[in-house]
Each structure stands twice: as C-alpha cells, then as structure tokens.
Structure 1
C-alpha cells in the first residue's frame, strides 16, 4: 500500500511538472509571438509613414513645378496685355492662354490666302512688339514654340477650309520673313520656334445665342507654348488621378 501510494504521488508530481512545463512553454511562445507582432507592426507603421512622406514630398514638388510654370505663363500674358492695351489693332489677348486673335478680314479677303495691304501693316506693327516680349532675355529659354494658327468659318467643306487655313497661316509667316518686311530684334531667333498651323473650322467662335459667328471665326491667332507645357499637362493629369 505504501509503495502504491508513493508511486501515485510520484506520478502526480510528474504530471504537475509536465503541466507546469507546458504552460511555461506556451507562455514563452505567446511572448515570442507578441514580440514578433510588435516588430511587424512597427515595421508596417514605419513603411506607411515613409510612403506617406514620400508621396507628400512628390505632391509638394509637383505643385511647386506647376506654380513655376503657371507663374511664367501668367507673367508673359500680363506683359502682352500691357503692351497692347492701347493698340489700335483689331485684336484681343486671351487673359487665360495668352493667345492673340485678329478678327476676320484683317489679313485676308474671302477665299484668299494672300496677305492684304492692311494685314501687312498690322503685322509690321504687331510682330516686333510681340516677339520682343516672347524672345526677350527673360522668357527666351521658356519658349518652345510660337504658333501662327489659321481658322475659317463653316462655308465650304472641311478639307477645303483646312487647306485655306493652312495657306493663310503660312502666308503670314512668309510675310514676316520677306526681305521687304522691316527688320526687328530676334528675327533670326524666331526661325527656330515659329510654326504655321491650319485648323479649318474645327474651333469656331460662337455668339451669345450659341450660333457660329462667321466673321469672328475667320481669324488668325498667335499662340506661344512653353517648354514645360507638356510637363504641366502631365502633372495636372496626375493630380486628377490622385484626386480620384
């Protein structure tokens, strides 16, 4: 009986020791898992914070670039408005884009692509001032293109008007570089940036009632494009995606 009792007590102690060993091992395992979880959580928070900071830095850089490009464009537009505000030329400056629009009939007769005497007189007065601003030391390195753009009304077919508008734009550029055209500053530099485009009747001018204004639609526009305009378009596109 005594031996049996001792055996039972020994087995009980052994069982208790095993239970204690199990709980110690389980506690150690849970402690290790908590440490691992804490480390993973810290790494996740760190990576999230880093990613947020990188994104914020990229957004700030993008916004700064946009501000710089918009600032230059705005400065050019203000210079153009100031230069031509008291002009007697039949023209207007778009305060948003800086495009300068000469109304229909100023440069060409109907269905003609030959620059009229009045048109030549306008060009002789306009071009020196216009180019003196765009190709000045302040803006020359910002300008990628100066565009002469021809537009027509809707009379006739699209292809006919496309050819007519292209011929008119080209005639204006040719007139500027005629030997008889008065010399002006930056004339040589102008050749590397000027181009002539025809738009047919694809961008008509509308009246208040929504109908096409044929006289205003027949026009020649002078536009400029900055070297960073394409980058600006891309950045604004990214901004729209970020907003979505």
Structure 2
C-alpha cells in the first residue's frame, strides 16, 4: 500500500513541475512581446516627434521667407515655437471697443492671407496641418480701466470673439476658390481668448498695447498622432 502511494505521488509532482515550467515560459513570452510592443511604440512616437520638429522648422522658414520684408510695415512678427503670425498694432486692427475690421487691417489681410494659405495648404504640409486658429487677444482692462477684473474679462471675451469672427468672415470674402474654401472650413477656427494670454515684460508687468493683438496660429496633428499610437498599445 505504501509503495503504491509513493508511486502515485512521484507521478503527480512531475506534472506540477511541467505545468509551472510551462506557465513561466508563457509569462516570459508575454514579457518579451510587451517589451517589443513598448520598443515599437517608442520608435513610432520618436518618428512622429522628429517629423513634427522638421515640419515646424520648415513651416517657420517658409513663412519667414515669404513675409520677412512685410512684417515691419505690418507691425507683425512670427513666433517660431507656435508658428503664429502675430499682428501687434491694435489701432491698425480695430477701433477702440469695436469688432469691425478697419480698412487698414483689411488691406493687410488682402496681401497676407492668400499668400499665407498657399504656404499652409501646400501639398508637402497637407497631411500635417490640424488647425489654423485665428485668435483674438485683449488687455486685462475695460473702458476707463476701473471696471472690476471679472467683468472686464467677460466683456473682453465677447469683444475678442466678435473680432475673430469678423476677421474670419473677411478672410472668407477674400478667397474665390471652392477648393480653398473647403479647406478653410475644415481647418480654420475663430477663437476669442480675452486677456487669458497677456504679453508681459521681463518683470512680469502687463504690456497692454502688445496684449491687444490678432494671431494666425498653425497647429500640426503630431499630438493627435501620438495619442493614437498610445491608444493602440492600451487595447
């Protein structure tokens, strides 16, 4: 009897050992596959980041090449990090408290906007452009400067939104091309930001004159592509 029990036990334990070895092999294969997926994900994200940087640099260079001589007379500048064309002379853009585009700014847009679209919607960038944001910015004050800050913020929010819509509407009136209009409807938005992004000096003081501006900001789709890659590896 004892001999029979011992034989069964010896037969039983090797099977457990084989099972554990098999499980360890499975876990090892899973770990290798996971590490491979992580490595592949990192490579794909790096590829997107490199392409994003190259697109940023290329777009900036093209914008500067096209508009470098015009920027001083327009009182404008181009931000390399955000690919934003910033019009910084408020008296040229709108009359105080008004959202109607001045004749002076219309003349600038007549010259600027079609050339701008030719660059942004060029074939080499068409797969990279996510959004063109026309942004309206104000200073933090309203009226005589004695309006409470929270009221001034919302008053300026309404004004900045009305101004960007006016700019967008005028830009559409400039373009007489069905293909370009379709791209504009897909990519261009009007965004009033009130005083949420003030221009400050080196000591952190608001530069009210410079804060009142209109920007044409280009956003690429690199961030969205990275999110899509991460979502694939979470599934």
Q: TM-score scaled to structure 2, two decimals? A: 0.77
Q: Which has the higher contact order (CA 8 A, sep 6+)?
A: 2
8 Å Cα contact 1:158-1:200 kept in structure 2? yes
8 Å Cα contact 1:150-1:166 kept in structure 2? yes
Q: Which runs of 5+ in 1 are unaligned?
A: 1-17
Distance 2:175 2:38 in 1: 54
Deviations 1:99-139 (A, max 9, x none): 11110323123222222232122212211221110112222
Q: TM-score scaled to structure 1, two decimals? A: 0.75
Match of 1:167 among 162, 166, 177: 162
Distance 1:84 1:235 in 2: 35
Partner of residue 147, structure 2: none
Shift of 1:182: 8.3
8 Å Cα contact 1:206-1:212 kept in structure 2? yes
Match of 2:43 among 49, 54, 60: 60
Corresponding position: 1:231 with 2:224: yes
Partner of residue 95, structure 2: 109
- Which structure has the bigger radius of gyration? 1
8 Å Cα contact 1:99-1:221 kept in structure 2? yes
Partner of residue 83, structure 2: 98
Match of 1:47 among 30, 38, 42: 30
Distance 1:185 1:139 in 2: 19
SS at match of 2:139: coil
Corresponding position: 1:128 with 2:114: yes
Shift of 1:27: 4.4
CA, structure 1 residues 39+231, in 2 after alignment: closer, same or farther (shift >3 Å)? same
Match of 1:188 among 181, 188, 205: 181
| C-alpha RMSD of the superposition | 3.1
Deviations 1:172-201 (A, max 9, x none): 2233344xx586897534542332221111
Partner of residue 155, structure 1: 141
Farther-moved stretch of structure 1 (103-112 vs 201-210): 103-112
CA, structure 1 residues 38+204, in 2 after alignment: closer, same or farther (shift >3 Å)? same
How many residue pairs get matched? Answer: 219
